[in-house]
């Protein structure tokens, strides 16, 4: 293990003094012999992986009334207080000739830093995700048992597999006592994981902000925010945000994130790690078995794929091509050449088919004369033979299909696929919770 020296304390003091949470934990994460806490904390600071986002959702939900209304800047202050309390404890160990503990704090000190921070901000100390589990471990086996649980949580090499299974086992079989309501704790963790999703929106992006379960986008050209329509429709639509209070809150979050963008470049001149990339957050998928691991890999591939389905690498490219072929066949039937309206319709129908759950598009058809419907008023995408009662279809107004710009349809497609990923994550969570309940009932 590398020695933790006075120079290291000076670096950490500098980052505390500049309120630089990311570079504080990055310094710890880069040090030789570190236990992984810095890397774990970076996921919370940036909200850019599932464990970090889960911890943030859990803290807000379990921290009491004050935690519910802090806002992004309020939680930023909590994070700044935390690195200050963390440094105080590391300095204490260093001054007591324990550089090993200054590098890797015992779990009781990590918990103490969180307890002090939450007390300063009128937040319940149960807001720290592992606190209740650690306290239960101490009741059963003292500090060594708590350290064992903490070591398992810090193991970033296991990709969350052993971590998740062990946590569930500990809760269900070993630590459930009169002071720990394991069922309620598991439920709270499950809800936080579901709300976080597999691919949370990082809080490092100034122009994309999640707030109250909704995603808002900033358009630099117009200087306006756009968000989901108040009333959900089959095809998700983003509309300009007009609520002054919401605009102020989004602008404040955007300004804060721009400040953090600057901070992440402001290394101390003598930081030995300034020439390295900032430590990345590990992608951890809790309680993942082989089947879910494959699903996670597919989701990660989608996250890295192009956002425009006209590109061959996009997972919806085949669906888009089927819509293009269907629209061109419709054009030929009508005796017209494909044009800009055709491109708009193909993009619109791709999003329509995806949002309707169609796996493919075999036909593109216009409505015939009917009760209250003019010929061609509606356009249909059809999966299967239209004459087969088992065929699937979806429709939308033809005028809307040819008037919506392709880029707008593709933006809506991104939202559709993100929602589908959330639903997949929720289904996985429901299956995991069901398995926990069954296992627990077998051990009563």
Q: Which pLDDT tens digit goes with each residue over 147-163?
A: 988 888 886 543 343 34
Are 273 and 30 within 8 A, CB to CB?
Answer: yes
Rounded CA gap, 299 and 320, in Å? 19
Does 139 score more than 70 pLDDT? Answer: yes
The reported pLDDT for the residue numbered 288 is 41
Rounded CA gap, 176 and 100, in Å? 33
Count of CB atoms situated within 10 Å of the CB of 367: 16
Using CA atoms, how far residue 230 sits from 208, 214, 225, 234, 374, in Å, is 18, 11, 14, 13, 30
- Phi/psi for 155 (5° steps) reads -75, 95
Top pLDDT among 253 and 140 is at 253
Please provide the average confidence, as pLDDT, over all residues in the chain.
Answer: 84
Does 357 score more than 60 pLDDT? Answer: yes
pLDDT > 90 in the chain, percent: 57
Degrees to nearest 5, angle at CA 62 with 287 and 53: 45
Top pLDDT among 188 and 94 is at 94
The reported pLDDT for the residue numbered 198 is 62
The reported pLDDT for the residue numbered 290 is 43
The reported pLDDT for the residue numbered 215 is 86
- Domain positions in the chain are 6-203, 317-411
Structure tokens, 275: 């020439």
Which is nearest to 432 in space by CA: 330, 286, 236, 242?
286
Does 303 score more than 50 pLDDT? Answer: no
Q: Which pLDDT tens digit goes with each residue over 7-19?
A: 999 999 999 999 9
Q: Which residues pair with 379 in a beta bridge?
A: 366, 396
The reported pLDDT for the residue numbered 211 is 87
Does 403 score more than 60 pLDDT? Answer: yes
The reported pLDDT for the residue numbered 72 is 93
The DSSP secondary-structure symbol of 125 reads G
Does 262 score more than 60 pLDDT? Answer: yes
pLDDT > 70 in the chain, percent: 81
pLDDT (average), residues 363-376:
84
Top pLDDT among 443 and 28 is at 28
The reported pLDDT for the residue numbered 184 is 81
pLDDT (average), residues 396-417:
88
Rounded CA gap, 247 and 378, in Å? 36
The reported pLDDT for the residue numbered 370 is 72
Does 291 score more than 80 pLDDT? Answer: no
Q: Which pLDDT tens digit goes with each residue over 188-209?
A: 887 887 787 666 888 888 999 9
pLDDT (average), residues 335-356:
94
């Amino acid at each position: 293990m590398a020695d933790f020296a006075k120079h290291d304390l000076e670096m950490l003091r500098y980052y505390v003094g500049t309120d630089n949470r990311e570079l504080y934990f990055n310094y710890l994460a880069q040090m030789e012999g570190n236990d992984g806490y810095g890397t774990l904390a970076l996921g919370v600071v940036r909200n850019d992986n599932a464990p970090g986002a889960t911890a943030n959702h859990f803290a807000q939900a379990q921290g009491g009334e004050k935690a519910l209304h802090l806002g992004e800047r309020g939680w930023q202050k909590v994070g700044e207080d935390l690195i200050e309390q963390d440094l105080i404890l590391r300095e204490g160990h260093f001054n007591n000739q324990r550089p090993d503990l200054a590098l890797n704090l015992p779990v009781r000190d990590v918990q103490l830093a969180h307890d002090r921070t939450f007390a300063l901000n009128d937040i319940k100390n149960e807001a720290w995700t592992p606190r209740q589990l650690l306290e239960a471990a101490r009741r059963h086996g003292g500090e060594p048992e708590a350290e064992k649980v903490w070591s398992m949580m810090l193991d970033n090499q296991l990709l969350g597999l052993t971590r998740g299974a062990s946590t569930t086992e500990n809760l269900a079989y070993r630590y459930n006592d009169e002071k720990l309501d394991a069922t309620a704790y598991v439920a709270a963790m499950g809800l936080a994981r579901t709300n976080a999703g597999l691919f949370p929106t990082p809080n490092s992006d100034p122009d994309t902000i999640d707030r109250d379960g909704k995603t808002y986008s900033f358009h630099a050209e117009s200087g306006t925010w756009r968000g989901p329509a108040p009333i959900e429709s089959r095809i998700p639509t983003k509309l300009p945000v007009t609520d002054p209070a919401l605009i102020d809150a989004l602008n404040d979050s955007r300004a804060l994130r721009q400040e953090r963008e600057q901070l992440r470049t402001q290394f101390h001149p003598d930081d030995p790690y300034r020439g390295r990339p900032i430590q990345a957050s590990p992608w951890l998928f809790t309680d993942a078995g082989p089947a879910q691991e494959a699903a996670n890999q597919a989701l990660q591939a989608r996250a890295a794929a192009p956002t425009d389905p006209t590109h061959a690498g996009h997972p919806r490219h085949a669906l888009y091509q089927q819509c293009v072929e269907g629209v061109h066949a419709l054009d030929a039937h009508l005796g017209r050449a494909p044009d800009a309206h055709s491109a708009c319709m193909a993009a619109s129908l791709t999003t329509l088919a995806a949002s309707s759950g169609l796996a493919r598009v075999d036909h593109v058809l216009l409505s015939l004369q009917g009760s209250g419907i003019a010929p061609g008023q509606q356009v249909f995408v059809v999966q299967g033979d239209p004459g087969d009662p088992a065929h699937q279809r979806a429709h939308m107004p033809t005028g809307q299909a040819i008037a919506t710009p392709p880029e707008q349809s593709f933006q809506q497609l991104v939202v559709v696929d993100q929602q589908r990923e959330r639903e997949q994550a929720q289904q996985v969570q429901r299956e995991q919770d069901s398995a926990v309940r069954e296992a627990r009932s077998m051990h009563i």
